[in-house]
Amino acid sequence: MLIKSKKHLAASSFCGLLLLFGAIVTLLTLLTTMSMMKNMESGYFNNLCSHTPEAVAPRNLRLRLSHAVSTLRCLTIPKCYPTVRCLDDKAPMQIPIRHEWEQQAFCVSDLTEKSSDDKCLIYSFGINGSTEWEEKMHEEFGCEVFAFDPTSKLPRDVAPGVTFHEIGLQGDEVDVSKTHSHQYDALDASKLLTLGEIIDQMGHTGRKIDVLRLDCEGCEWGVLKQLACSGESELVEQLMVEMHFQKNLGLSTDEDILTAADAIACLEREHWGVASMEVSGCGPADAQYHELALKIIRGPFFLLYVTMKRLPEEQQVWHGYPNHATSYAHIVSNVANNVLPEYETYDVYPTKEKD
């Protein structure tokens, strides 16, 4: 009996040691995974601002593209990306114009709350020969309005309160001289400047732009990245952006997809939220997409009108995208095993039925 008890005790002790060893291994694995996730997440957002390809982590291209698709999908899904209200908790409003498809909601109350001595400043890029919205902004709010378009030929004093300049925006890592809709002429690269250069040229150094409107046929991704990742977005109160997802309007290569995702990630890092999001459409001639863009868009002619402003301090607690922080280790493991996350692809090019 004594011998059996000793054997039983030895066996129990051995099993206990195995369980303890297993628990230690599990704990170490968990701590390592958490550390990797934290380093990857902080590295991704912190390194976006360094403007060097090597700095964007993780370096594995497939993993980066998977992350980019996740980021851009979050932007296109209502309430996935952080939302923000206008001043006094008022909803965004549209300014009525004849071309209804050009109407876009923004925080009107943010302009009406300004003092009479503090004249609002509006920059509008991509007017395509029409200044109706710009004129309304001057008439309704007394703003100083500057309209820009490198493809339009208009007089400098185009309308009361509206000044026109035949120049356009150039952002990071996107050659917009090669990015244009079938509806417009190719862009002259010599007419493209960064926002900082334009602000200096206009004599507005030190002033904040109350509304920056971008309808520049594909320049928006590089411009948004340059603004947010450099910190220049602090010069702007509201962003009104027409976001294009088509091949000839900014998203034609893997690098374009990464640039667009970098822009959105940097905007999040700078605490920008979505005040308004409206689905619109492109022309049929422009409806051609990169294969990854098909996993982002929500329809065959997909465009988004997005208005953004900074989150108030009490809302600046959102860190990363809902499916990012919890999926880093899972994605890393899947990539190592040659398995990538499955995303729904929109059937933009349905197979034609045979006669």
Per-residue pLDDT tens over the stretch 296-327: 998 888 999 999 998 887 666 554 444 433 33
- pTM, two decimals, is 0.75
Whether 256 maps to a domain, the answer reads: yes
pLDDT for 219 equals 83
pLDDT for 50 equals 36
Say which residue, 96 or 52, is predicted with more confidence. Answer: 96
Whether 92 maps to a domain, the answer reads: yes
Confidence of residue 256 (pLDDT cuts 50, 70, 90): very high
Mean pLDDT of 17-28: 60
Whether 255 maps to a domain, the answer reads: yes
2-47 vs 328-336: helix axis angle to the nearest 10? 100
Q: Which two tokens stand for residue 103?
A: 């109407």
Confidence of residue 37 (pLDDT cuts 50, 70, 90): very low
Domain holding 121, by residue range, is 61-312
Give CA separation, 221 vs 142, 264, 269, 355, in Å.
30, 9, 16, 42
pLDDT for 154 equals 93
Q: Supply the CATH number for residue 255's domain.
A: 3.40.50
pLDDT for 55 equals 42
Q: Which residues pair with 165 in a beta bridge?
A: 148
pLDDT for 332 equals 46
Per residue in 68-119, pLDDT tens? 998 999 888 877 888 888 888 888 998 888 877 778 899 998 988 776 678 8
**How many domains does the chain divide into?**
1
- DSSP secondary structure letter of residue 325: T
Whether the pLDDT of residue 177 is over 90: the answer is no
pLDDT for 108 equals 92
328-336 vs 61-76: helix axis angle to the nearest 10? 140
Whether 28 maps to a domain, the answer reads: no
The share of the chain scoring above pLDDT 90, in percent, equals 32
Whether 174 maps to a domain, the answer reads: yes
pLDDT for 292 equals 93
Confidence of residue 22 (pLDDT cuts 50, 70, 90): low
Say which residue, 52 or 249, is predicted with more confidence. Answer: 249
Whether 66 maps to a domain, the answer reads: yes
Give the closest residue to 174 by CA, choosing from 156, 198, 155, 192: 192
Whether 296 maps to a domain, the answer reads: yes
Whether 293 maps to a domain, the answer reads: yes
